Structure 1
Amino acid sequence: MKYALCNETFGDLPFEESFATTRRLGYTGIEIAPFTLLPGATVTDVRDVPATRRAEVKRIAEDAGLEVVGLHWLLAKTEGFYLTSPDPAVQRATAEYLKELAELCGQLGGKVMVLGSPQQRNLLPGVGYEQAEEIAAGVLREAMPACGDNQVTIALEPLGPAEGDFMLTAESGVGLATMVDSPWCKLHLDVKAMASEPKPIAEIIRENAAWTAHFHANDPNLLGPGMGEVEFAPIFAALKETDYQGWVSVEVFKYEPSPEEIARQSIDYMQRIEAGA
């Protein structure tokens, strides 16, 4: 397995320090939330990240011995973008921003962009699910040429019902990717989200192996793998059985007892599980 850590885990810690710690703990990849590139900004717009800063972040990762996996939290802390808005102007703006993100991702050396951002995709008043799906597919199709130019895959992230009402299952994620109909639009699987589905997580992994471009390891309790009730042995067995070649990124939402301790416990647990898979 290739293990990565989502960089917002370390909050406002300088990248030089957080990246070095990430590598020291055994991770070889770093996954970047765009809003961390503009610390202190209330609203994030990656067009405000200068070329010098992009090159600097790539260099910091390389110096630490890390590969930039890609981006996630794509639309978090932004304004004016919405994946399922019926407003044509918002649709155009969102598609253009996804193009900008693809360029940023490629410049950092990343290959995947995880599209979760539930607050910018949930159903708006008067918009039904099928209409929202058509809108989202149209927005994503507009961004596909830029993804291809930058060799970046958008990985659609299903999320559980606690976070919203659009794209709640792996099946619905594949359905949307099928509508987009591009080799640059695939599926992302997240353990916390899959735990909300009625099917066993290992079964979801096997059923969607051909579509899966990226994977997040975590637990429904918002902590890291092995820090809750989800057993990862069947999960890793399914990833191994389906010959998953992508990254396994640790993404958590609670940072107790500390970010470093969570990162350490998570990779130690996953490596033990992998050794026994």
Structure 2
Amino acid sequence: MKLSYQVAAPDVKEGPGVTAYQGDIERSFERLKETGYEGAELMVCNPKSFDWEKIRELSQKYKLEIPMICTGEVFGQDGLTFSDTDNKRRDEAILRAMAAVDLAQFLGAQINVGRLRGGYMFGQDDKECIARSVDGLSQVASYAGEKKVYMALEPVNPIASNFINTTQEGLEMLEIIKKPYCSLMLDSNHMFISDLNMFYSIRQAKGKFTYVHLADSNRLYPGNCKLDFSTFIQTLKETGYDGWVSVEVFQRPDQDTALEKSFEYLNRLIS
């Protein structure tokens, strides 16, 4: 397995709710390299609004692969989802996701879809909301397949989302979408909150997941709280997974501490 850390792209507004290393993008790459990471996962909001070539140049300069384009701030910053009953906003959500696919193809990465998919909306018909979400997922998965880019569907805990919360629900959605480049993404924090047995869930998802996010039970850097990362990583290994594991945490007490503590704790487990 290879270890990555999430970095905010230039279009993402800085703030305490952003789960990525923030600030000048070159300085972010430099800090990851200094610390020992092999990859820089890119958190985006509007992928068409920044210079893709610069990102690729930084990736090459600092010898950091870019394994994932994370779409979390498309929702977090601009509140866009596939289930929105405002067609203009919904269309923009889908276009942002497709732009993330294009960026992923350019950089040799995957994309994830978490809260961007939306879900049940207050005052709206439940069936219509879910139908719009599933249709949006299918559209983006089809587009990703044309580009040979994996769209990794991320189950999100019910504190942050009301649709596709558990690993099992994620697996069920893969069967509904049935697209060859649609996979599952695991997130240790969401699984800790949502799944009855996160280690069983990893085994159940064997061969279906293509990316893993790591955060402790309190969404801070691994090793500071309750989550059993030793068993989590060992279970990943037992399934034969040898892809990327990437730190996605709130940057507390500060981002350099989170960056360094995460590497110190995880590097020995994945080796």
Q: TM-score, normalised by structure 2?
A: 0.87
Letter in structure 1 aligned against 2:111? M
Letter in structure 1 aligned against 2:211? H
Letter in structure 1 aligned against 2:37? Y
Distance 1:274 1:54, change over 3 A: closer
Letter in structure 1 aligned against 2:115? S
Gaps of 5+ in 1: 36-44
1:121-136 matches, within 5 Å, as 121-127=118-124, 130-136=127-133
Percent of aligned positions that are identical: 23
Q: Which residue of 2 aligns with 1:64?
A: 62
Following superposition, the deviation at residue 90 of structure 1 comes to 4.4
1:58-137 matches, within 5 Å, as 58-72=56-70, 73=72, 75-76=74-75, 79=78, 81-107=80-106, 109-117=107-115, 121-127=118-124, 130-137=127-134
Q: TM-score, normalised by structure 1?
A: 0.85
Q: Which residue of 1 aligns with 2:13?
A: none
Take 2:28 and 2:85, find their aligned partners in 1: how far apart are those partners?
40
Q: Deviations over 1:54-109 (max 9, x none)?
A: 111111111101001121125235547322234555444433332222112222x1
Take 2:268 and 2:79, find their aligned partners in 1: how far apart are those partners?
44
Gaps of 5+ in 2: 9-19
Distance 1:79 1:231, change over 3 A: closer
Number of residue-to-residue matches in the alignment: 259
Q: Which residue of 2 aligns with 1:47?
A: 48
Q: Which residue of 2 aligns with 1:224?
A: 221
Q: Deviations over 1:98-133 (max 9, x none)?
A: 2222112222x1421121236x61411244555433
1:223-242 matches, within 5 Å, as 223-242=220-239
Letter in structure 2 aligned against 1:30? A
Q: Which residue of 2 aligns with 1:268?
A: 264
Q: Which residue of 1 aligns with 2:5?
A: 5
Q: Which residue of 2 aligns with 1:42?
A: none
Do 2:186 and 2:211's aligned partners in 1 also have CA atoms closer than 8 Å? yes
Do 1:103 and 1:146's aligned partners in 2 also have CA atoms closer than 8 Å? no
Do 2:82 and 2:118's aligned partners in 1 also have CA atoms closer than 8 Å? yes
Take 1:75 and 1:175, find their aligned partners in 2: how far apart are those partners?
24
